[in-house]
Amino acid sequence: MARTYGFDTLQIHAGARPDPATGARQVPIYQTTAYVFRDADHAAALFNLQEVGYIYSRLTNPTVAALGERIATLEGGAGGVCCSSGHAAQIMALFPLMGPGRNIVASTRLYGGTVTQFSHTIKRFGWSAKFVDFDDLAALEAAVDGDTRAIFCESIANPGGYVTDLPAVAAIADKVGLPLIVDNTSATPFLCRPIEMGATIVVHSTTKYLTGNGTVTGGAIVDSGKFDWSASGKFPSLSEPEPAYHGLKFHETFGPLAFTFHSIAIGLRDLGMTMNPQGAHYTLMGIETLSLRMERHVANAMKVAAWLEADPRVDYVTYAGLPSSPYAERAKRVYPKGAGALFTFAVKGGYEACVKLVDSLELFSHVANLGDTRSLIIHSASTTHRQLSPEQQMAAGAAPNMVRVSIGIEDVDDIIADLDQALAKV
């Protein structure tokens, strides 16, 4: 019986074998656009999807493929595809499922850019989204109609660190026969493996915790390989003949890898949302220390959140890891290794006090990013979520009196001291 390796081993070795040409131990950066075919028959087999291999780096690249395999392995999926950003990953995840007039049911607790993408941009494809509070499972089920093609949520939602009850949401998706897409960016597979809880597809902004050092943007889509794309007739891109490949049926031909092959052969081919090999290399190196970093992120976040909660200059803290959180029980049950390191807190004094706080910090970086080794802060209402209405801001956990923090892996006493001196100035 083959040995099942632990997470810490897989984050270093999955998808990475010594280079057969040179013996290089680290995954080489294959900085090339194209690949030489053995002969005309080899080229034809590749273009007909009769043989797996490399054609052109818009589609596949060995460095990027190694990253896709590593992320898929860590998530427990059948296959993984990498692309240029987290936003690209969301569009690519929906692309094989949707069509004009079709909709998704999405959580209200999503990153502001995702709310905008789903509220406005996807309408240009003829798609639409219905936003529902996923704590109301009856409302979630009621929002599904005959044109719904997916259910979408974040495992740990940006900005407030809200923790989704994935097993409960997956049960609804299973009941209505639809794929559940989970953005696992904030949790990472170290804290949460959505596929084990019933998710069909996992998406990531690899820009964040997976890379972990704020160097490159990227996205990933992982397919569980467990959904029957042919059962309902709702997913013709995967179940019906594909004209561009002489009538090939992706699900019939590739089985559990149907979604993955479609994402490469059609998604990357036509949307062109390609990850570059240099970026993939940075992310591969980052993932090697993912578990070590996440343990420190979580430990620091717990201490900082508890300190903030006890501070009279702070109204409240949204961190689900706190015993006082209304989601404390859910966090322990669904996210036993920790509730992540992303949360918000309300500053007494409102909007102006938040702006003053952000400007007074010295160790924290004021940036529109999260998941870096460094501690980061942003006032969501005036930046990442400013395009939303006040009602949408409140629903997303980005009220005007709140700041979002992504707690880094610095010495926790230094993190707290920086917050203390900035709050004093406020």
pLDDT digits (tens, 9 = 90+) for 175-208: 999 999 999 999 999 999 999 999 999 999 999 9
Q: What is the pLDDT of residue 112?
A: 85
> Between 196 and 382, where is the model more confident?
196
CA distance 152 to 192: 16
Element (H, E) at 342: strand 342-347
> Between 112 and 44, where is the model more confident?
44
| Domain 7-286 -> CATH class | alpha beta
Over residues 6-31, mean pLDDT: 93
Q: What is the pLDDT of residue 314?
A: 96
* Number of helices (H), then strands (E), in the chain: 18, 12
Per-residue CA distances from 186 to 110, 175, 284, 385 (Å): 11, 27, 18, 17
Q: What is the pLDDT of residue 386?
A: 75
Give which of 89, 27, 98, 106 is closest to 61, Cα–Cα: 27
Is 221:96 a contact under the CB 8 Å cutoff? Answer: no
Strand pairing report for 342-347 and 314-317 = antiparallel
Over residues 280-303, mean pLDDT: 98
pLDDT of 19 over the 90 cut: no
Q: What is the pLDDT of residue 163?
A: 97
Over residues 106-133, mean pLDDT: 95
Confidence of residue 288 (pLDDT cuts 50, 70, 90): very high
Sequence ranges of the domains in the chain: 7-286, 292-425
Strand pairing report for 148-154 and 180-183 = parallel
pLDDT of 117 over the 80 cut: yes
Q: pLDDT averaged over the chain?
A: 95
CA distance 347 to 44: 63
CA distance 411 to 413: 6
Residue type, 304: V
pLDDT of 283 over the 80 cut: yes
Q: What is the DSSP letter of 89?
A: H
pLDDT of 21 over the 90 cut: no
Partners of 80 in beta bridges:
222
Is 44:240 a contact under the CB 8 Å cutoff? Answer: no
Q: What is the pLDDT of residue 184?
A: 98
Are the folds of 7-286 and 292-425 the same? Answer: no
Is 323:158 a contact under the CB 8 Å cutoff? Answer: no
CA distance 161 to 341: 8
Any alpha helices (H) in 3-111, and if so which ranges? Answer: 7-13, 40-47, 62-75, 86-94
Query: Model confidence over 344-370: pLDDT tens digits?
Result: 999 999 888 999 999 999 999 999 899
CA distance 335 to 318: 16
CA distance 180 to 201: 6
Residue type, 214: G
Q: What is the pLDDT of residue 392?
A: 80
Over residues 321-327, mean pLDDT: 97
Confidence of residue 133 (pLDDT cuts 50, 70, 90): very high
Q: 292-425 in CATH: which number?
A: 3.90.1150.10
Over residues 374-388, mean pLDDT: 84
Q: What sign does the CA torsion over 333, 337, 90, 201 have?
A: negative
Confidence of residue 389 (pLDDT cuts 50, 70, 90): confident
Over residues 365-381, mean pLDDT: 93
pLDDT of 8 over the 90 cut: yes
Residue percentage of the chain with pLDDT more than 70: 100
Two tokens at 420?
């203390």
Query: Of all residues in the chain, what percent are helix, strand and coil, respectively (each to 5)?
Result: 40, 15, 45
CA distance 352 to 360: 12
Query: Model confidence over 51-108: pLDDT tens digits?
Result: 999 999 999 999 999 999 999 999 999 999 999 999 999 999 999 999 999 999 999 9
